[in-house]
Structure 1
Amino acid sequence: MGTWEAGTLASSFPTPSPSPEPQASEAQREGRVALYVHWPFCVTKCPYCDFNSHVRASVDQAQWQAALITDLAYEAARLPGRRLASIFFGGGTPSLMPPATVAAIIEAAAAHWPPEGDIEITLEANPSSVEAARFAGFAAAGVNRLSLGVQALDDDALKLLGRPHDVAAALAALDVAQAMFSRVSFDLIYDRPGMTRESWQAELARAIGFGTSHLSLYQLTIEPGTRFAALHARGQLVMPDEDASADLFALTQETTASAGIPAYEISNHARPGQQSRHNLVYWRYGDYAGIGPGAHGRREGMATLRRKKPEAWLASIADAGHGMESEAPLTIKERTSEALVMGLRLAEGLDAARFAARAGVALADAVKPDAVARLATQGLIEADARGLRLTAAGWPLANAVLAAIAQ
């Protein structure tokens, strides 16, 4: 069994925000499950998006409600005796779901797994697909956290990103969301073509001024198979260079930390105690059930994947009683790799005890000690008896650090 050398390495990493579950032991966490529900439909397909999203002229809402509840029952039968810690409705555009469908899924999940008293139920919404009446319906259904896809506070940028709303619509939706839900987050995409340090600083300051407890701030990336990838390949979409991107990332961390909403994960920022508890399950490599087209899941060392195409998923539900495409045990190497990738994204880093429990191998045995020592000397990582974490200097280089230290 590997161990870390005693002592704490110097680090300039910002102090992590308090965990939303500071008293929970590993045994207590093991009794929990998170539920992810994928709604695959959108009004339009954004040119940067590589998520499993589809545009359809019409959707049989009753059929989809019944199918999602059937898929849920399949997962629940394989994770008996758990407590339901969180539900996350993602997509696609989940705000296109009728509130009655959301309510039915929440009710069915609670019937399978007793919900914890502070259960977090998040729904992603787009400003162009919902209005006040639908927000109220989601709140009445049990949603207590809304994540709003604002994406930019500039109308020209929204047009570039292919968003069907403008800034005025986004801010109107945000006002309604903050009136309806105690916890609200919204997304912004930065590092966009033509963006300067000054323009992002002003946009970010404006975003912080709205007073939400959580912000997801993503650097624009060119994903294969997207319309942006084709434009980029033809030289019709020019991205900021590496130095400019690094400067925008550093500005983002400094600005949010100064405003009391520091990063707790590379792209996610929250006021103390307001972190996304559902997403922390992913990053801490906990168990979660994933239902709906293309949904991934991790349960007790098994990797699950649903069929991606909505019609194929529905056919599988009808034929087999679930939408599964594959269901297979993960090897120790696969679990180790996934736990490293996820945990290094967090400000708190990798907890050695949790890593061993989830990956099945000691953290010290999953990394190259010489590489850890070298990168620690360079000020990129910090390692001690508690675990391993990136420093402020190492965070922008997370992929390179991971490649260097993984066994």
Structure 2
Amino acid sequence: MPAFPDGEPAPESGALPESARHGAAERPWSAYVHVPFCSVRCGYCDFNTYTARELGPGADRDQYANTLATEIELAGAVLAEFPERELDTVFFGGGTPTLLPAADLAAMLDALKQRFGLVPGAEVTTEANPDTLSDSYAAELAAAGFTRVSIGMQSADERVLSVLDRTHNPDNVATAIAAAKNAGLSCSLDLIYGTPGESHDSWRTSLQAAIALEPDHISAYALGIEEGTKMGADVRRGLLPDVDPDVQADRYEIADELLTSAGYPWYEVSNFARPGHECRHNIHYWRNSDWWGFGPGAHSHIGGVRWWNVKHPRAYAQLLATGVSPAHAREVLSDRARHEEHVMLGIRLREGIAIPMDARAEIDTLVGDGLIDATAAADGRAVLTLRGRLLADRVTYALLGI
């Protein structure tokens, strides 16, 4: 797993500086709930996850919902001085949230509702492994107030799934989608492209299989080989080839072509949706809104203050048991850092960003290179073209004068 930045010490109370409150009433806010448990650790994954069922006092799966509710109470105390705001979105990620009983997810959501409330029409999502989402489980989620599930399909090719160390039965993707739809839940499918051994035809087949299931939303992520993962070690030892950026660019263009023609236009570089089914929670991230990340290793951002919790579930539980914030460290972003993040994140959205005043000299070059849409630029906005999406980092550096 990647190391956290050093940051500065976080107060034991979890208190936030006065600056974090400025403008809070105008900002939507969200909750992210990290469930760090998996049945098997996938070879490419560098997320903060654990396969052991028992991790020590207060950290076992059976105790997790109660432990997390303690952090929700701490957050309520910290935010008591803020303008009253109900949650616009809630997202349960992991890990595999649906490895826990649906009643546990319901209990954590209810704790959030009781402490903060949800806006009318709030979006509430959980990630799900295809093998864990049955009719009864989906019905329990819907009854608890969940509105959406994001199912980890990754690929329709069993050989690709094997390389990724995914253990789910590909046939169960259709079963999971049907269960979610029967319960009235909106559905998203997650795909990964660029896996060693995947071909263009294999990738097309995966996209077509996903489209045929008629989800509301499809995410397509380029595989990254991360340090500290089994796949990273296999690449270093020459057991697997490294990813090829040119191949990944080709795969992205295939995804854009097939998904757009099927009625899933892009709204963020890696995300495609039927109009009206864009993931509001993810959009809040890209707009750098406020969110509190609950759980071990979770990151939070409120009003230009970022912090991150201790990683291990046992350390997380022990701190909360003694009335201490589980925050490991934090940073208060400077105005320049906030501007850089606004550009870096916002440029990934289909809506783009207003052209920064200090970047106007760069726009003609970006338009000429086919990276920024000319019509949008004439209206004062920087919006990525398809080529620009493939070279989003280059656009970001140009807009920031780096």
Aligned to 1:12: none
Aligned to 1:377: 368
Distance 1:93 1:78 in 2: 28
1:76 aligns with 2:70: no
The unaligned stretches of length 5 or more in structure 2 are 1-22
Q: Which amino acid aligns with 1:75?
A: A
* TM-superposition CA deviations, 1:198-233 (whole Å, max 9, x none): 222222112111111101111211112111111112
* TM-superposition CA deviations, 1:286-343 (whole Å, max 9, x none): 1111110111111112112111111111111112343211233211122122222211
Contact 1:158/1:166, CA 8 A, preserved across alignment: no
Q: How does 1:183-332 map to 2 (within 5 A)?
A: 183-239=186-242, 241-332=244-335
Distance 1:351 1:87 in 2: 28
Question: How far did residue 114 of structure 1 move?
Answer: 3.1
Question: How far did residue 87 of structure 1 move?
Answer: 0.5
Structure 2 length as normaliser, TM-score? 0.86
Distance 1:308 1:277 in 2: 27
Contact 2:174/2:213, CA 8 A, preserved across alignment: no
Q: Structure 1's 302 and 216: CA in aligned 2 closer, same or farther, altered over 3 A? A: same
Q: How does 1:5-404 map to 2 (within 5 A)?
A: 30-58=26-54, 60-61=60-61, 63-79=63-79, 80=82, 81-239=84-242, 241-351=244-354, 363-365=356-358, 368-382=359-373, 383-404=377-398
Question: How far did residue 53 of structure 1 move?
Answer: 0.9
Q: Which amino acid aligns with 1:66?
A: N
Q: Which amino acid aligns with 2:305?
A: M
* TM-superposition CA deviations, 1:108-163 (whole Å, max 9, x none): 22223231111010000102334333222222221110111111112222111111
Aligned to 1:13: none
Q: Which amino acid aligns with 1:391?
A: T
Distance 2:61 2:361 in 1: 56
Distance 2:28 2:361 in 1: 36
Q: Structure 1's 75 and 364: CA in aligned 2 closer, same or farther, altered over 3 A? A: farther
Which secondary structure state, in structure 2, belongs to the residue aligned with residue 41 of structure 1? coil
Q: Which amino acid aligns with 1:259?
A: A
Contact 1:70/1:322, CA 8 A, preserved across alignment: no
Distance 1:105 1:97 in 2: 11
Contact 1:34/1:86, CA 8 A, preserved across alignment: yes
Which secondary structure state, in structure 1, belongs to the residue aligned with residue 73 of structure 2? helix
Q: Which amino acid aligns with 1:246?
A: A
Contact 1:381/1:388, CA 8 A, preserved across alignment: yes
Distance 1:48 1:215 in 2: 20
Which secondary structure state, in structure 1, belongs to the residue aligned with residue 191 of structure 2? strand
Q: Which amino acid aligns with 1:72?
A: I
Deviating runs (4+, > 4 A) in structure 1? none
Question: How far did residue 71 of structure 1 move?
Answer: 0.9
Contact 1:42/1:53, CA 8 A, preserved across alignment: yes
Q: Which amino acid aligns with 2:87?
A: L
Q: Structure 1's 209 and 288: CA in aligned 2 closer, same or farther, altered over 3 A? A: same
Contact 1:188/1:216, CA 8 A, preserved across alignment: yes
Question: How far did residue 182 of structure 1 move?
Answer: 3.0
Distance 1:134 1:351 in 2: 44
Q: Structure 1's 386 and 320: CA in aligned 2 closer, same or farther, altered over 3 A? A: farther
Structure 1 length as normaliser, TM-score? 0.85
Distance 1:231 1:95 in 2: 29
Distance 2:133 2:39 in 1: 11
Q: Structure 1's 244 and 63: CA in aligned 2 closer, same or farther, altered over 3 A? A: closer
Distance 1:310 1:28 in 2: 30
Distance 2:153 2:326 in 1: 31
Distance 1:286 1:378 in 2: 31
Question: CA RMSD for the aligned pairs?
Answer: 2.0
Tell me whether 236-245 or 36-45 shows the greater mean CA deviation: 236-245
Which secondary structure state, in structure 1, belongs to the residue aligned with residue 329 of structure 2? strand
Tell me the percent identity.
37
* TM-superposition CA deviations, 1:227-247 (whole Å, max 9, x none): 111111222212453332221
Tell me whether 103-112 or 116-125 shows the greater mean CA deviation: 103-112
